[in-house]
Amino acid sequence: MIDLRTILLSFAFILLLPGHAEAGIFNRKNKVAEPGRDSNVAKYAVINGDTVPTFEIMEVNVYGRRTYSNKRQQKQYDKLTRNVIKMYPISQEIKSILIETYLMLQAMPDEKDREKHIKDVEDGVWEQYYPVMRKCTLAQGKLLIKLIDRECNQTSYELIDAFAGHFKARFYQAFAALFGATLKKEYEPDFNDEDQIIEEIIWMIDNGTI
């Protein structure tokens, strides 16, 4: 398990390499807004000769802790909940580090300064996250791969391929496969039942109900 954790940490370092904006991070799943789509023009209806503005009310989903009559299912759900609570903040932190590092690199015209900054960030990430990752289970490592895709809109494999090239992407993928993991794993709450449950748990975390 120590090797898989090292792979995940190495992947986090690769995220910090320059050029990620050009590589398309945060763009794969984002939709381009249509002209006028976000304007505040109200629709209207004519009722008994009067023009009445009408508005579409967005559907809001409210989630709570799931309960199962099957003890095994309940145990699996509670375990998944604990794992999401632990790994979700890490995926958010990785995204924040990625954005902050890129902005800093853009402000550094000197290549030597850029390389030094990347090295400093790598050292900081290793010092901060290695003790955390040492305590992670294989299930939590797989979950983190999913959550990184959720936060960055790119699979781990796509990110490594964009930053470090096909060889390293294939190497890390093959290595992860030894532990039953895949860096190509996508987060698909619309199609995957477990991902839908993860999304519900994240909603509860974001809204302070769990």
pLDDT in tens, 175-194: 778 777 788 888 999 999 99
Share of the chain above pLDDT 90, in %: 22
Residue 7 to residues 101, 148, 192, Cα–Cα distance (Å): 21, 14, 25
pLDDT in tens, 6-45: 545 555 544 444 333 334 444 445 433 344 444 556 576 7
**44-55: average pLDDT:** 72
pLDDT of residue 114: 76
pLDDT of residue 80: 97
pLDDT over threshold 90, residue 68: yes
> Mean pLDDT over all residues of the chain?
75
Model-level pTM? Answer: 0.68
Q: What gap in Å lies between CA 198 and CA 81, rounded to an integer?
A: 8
pLDDT of residue 210: 86
Structure tokens at 43: 């629709």
- Work out the number of other CB atoms within 10 angstroms of the CB of residue 173: 18
pLDDT over threshold 70, residue 115: yes
**66-90: average pLDDT:** 94
Q: What gap in Å lies between CA 139 and CA 59, rounded to an integer?
A: 33
pLDDT over threshold 50, residue 209: yes
